[in-house]
């Protein structure tokens, strides 16, 4: 009885939606005959769907490049704040975190207007200098999206790292100073090991976040011409278009469940690897 409220809430927000999605994934909408039970056909079709795997690979490559860059920047900023050698650290902390408070739709519109070639900063630069810089060419669109996401989430990850550094006992720094440790040795022997646990957490959150990428390509596809963004640019965008413009709710549900399984598997591997490193 003590856990009954939690069990009910857990079932309402977790078990039932997943169960309903699994149920939907077993059906297909036919032009003649309406909704038809097809068993695992949606899953079999999905594993041979080149559009789906194209989006998965694109997101994986994006994650492998963007997440390390963002976390290195966030970690560097956290160490700079913790060094106590900077002036205006409170202002810097708030300034770097502030983009996280901007809704993703607003930040995408802002960056789209600024980096678009028809208007904004890049457009004005092209007119003034006579260049033809276009951040939203098909081969650079993902880089531009990476800049947007890095701008938005660096401050959030920086605060996680900064909190971990603040929890380091001050006696360790005093002992290192007495032993004549250099700043580099303090970073290597005290600060980096202290960040190991928070690094695993931020990697998992970042992987989940990038695998859910939707707002940026969805808005930019209608905002910028010739960006190379297709209806299957990311798995989430593909699922959305299948469900709401293609009327293939069953296939979209199967796609969503497979993507959830892939994300959970990668996050689990990262967590196990992180725990193993911590024990060593």
Task: Return the pLDDT at 9.
Answer: 86
Residue 205's Cβ-count burial label (10 Å; 0-12, 13-18, 19+) is: middle
Task: Return the pLDDT at 142.
Answer: 93
Residue 98's Cβ-count burial label (10 Å; 0-12, 13-18, 19+) is: exposed
Task: Return the pLDDT at 221.
Answer: 87
pLDDT tens readout for residues 152-161: 999 999 999 9
Tokens of 130: 């006579």
Query: What is the pTM (predicted TM-score) of this model?
Result: 0.87
Cα Rg of the chain (Å, integer) = 23
Asked whether residue 280 carries a pLDDT value surpassing 70, the answer given is no
pLDDT tens readout for residues 82-113: 887 788 888 888 999 999 999 989 999 999 88
Indicate the pLDDT class of residue 181, thresholds 50, 70 and 90: confident
Task: Return the pLDDT at 279.
Answer: 62
Residue 3 has φ and ψ, to the nearest 5°, of: -100, 5
Q: What is the mean pLDDT of the chain?
A: 89
Asked whether residue 134 carries a pLDDT value surpassing 80, the answer given is yes
Indicate the pLDDT class of residue 20, thresholds 50, 70 and 90: very high
Asked whether residue 32 carries a pLDDT value surpassing 80, the answer given is no
| Least confident segment among 19-33, 71-85, 154-168, 194-208 | 19-33
Task: Return the pLDDT at 278.
Answer: 63
pLDDT tens readout for residues 36-88: 898 899 999 999 999 999 999 999 999 999 999 999 999 999 999 988 778 88
Q: Which residues contact 143 (CB under 8 A, 6 or more apart)?
A: 135
Task: Return the pLDDT at 272.
Answer: 84
DSSP 98: G
**pLDDT cut 90: percent of the chain above it:** 48
**pLDDT cut 70: percent of the chain above it:** 98
d(C-alpha 71, C-alpha 64), whole Å: 12
Tokens of 128: 């003034």
């Amino acid at each position: 009885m003590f856990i009954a409220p939690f069990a009910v809430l857990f079932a309402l927000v977790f078990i039932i939606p997943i169960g309903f999605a699994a149920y939907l994934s077993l059906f297909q909408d036919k032009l003649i005959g309406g909704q038809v039970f097809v068993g695992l056909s949606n899953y079999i079709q999905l594993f041979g769907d080149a559009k789906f795997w194209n989006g998965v690979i694109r997101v994986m490559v994006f994650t492998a490049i963007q997440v390390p860059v963002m976390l290195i920047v966030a970690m560097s900023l956290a160490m700079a704040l913790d060094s106590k050698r900077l002036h205006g650290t409170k202002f810097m902390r708030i300034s770097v975190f502030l983009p996280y408070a901007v809704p993703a739709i607003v930040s995408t519109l802002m960056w789209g207007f600024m980096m678009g070639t028809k208007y904004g900063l890049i457009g004005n630069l092209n007119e003034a200098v006579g260049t033809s810089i276009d951040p939203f060419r098909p081969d650079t669109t993902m880089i531009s999206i990476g800049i947007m996401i890095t701008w938005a989430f660096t401050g959030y990850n920086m605060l996680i790292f900064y909190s971990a550094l603040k929890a380091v006992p001050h006696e360790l720094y005093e002992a290192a100073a007495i032993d004549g440790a250099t700043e580099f040795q303090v970073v290597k022997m005290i600060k980096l090991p202290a960040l190991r646990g928070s690094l695993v957490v931020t990697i998992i959150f970042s992987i989940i976040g990038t695998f859910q990428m939707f707002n940026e390509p969805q808005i930019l596809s209608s905002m910028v011409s010739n960006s190379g963004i297709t209806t299957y640019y990311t798995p989430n965008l593909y699922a959305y278009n299948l469900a709401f413009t293609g009327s293939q709710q069953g296939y979209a549900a199967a796609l969503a469940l497979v993507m959830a399984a892939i994300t959970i598997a990668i996050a689990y591997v990262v967590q196990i690897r992180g725990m193993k490193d911590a024990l060593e």
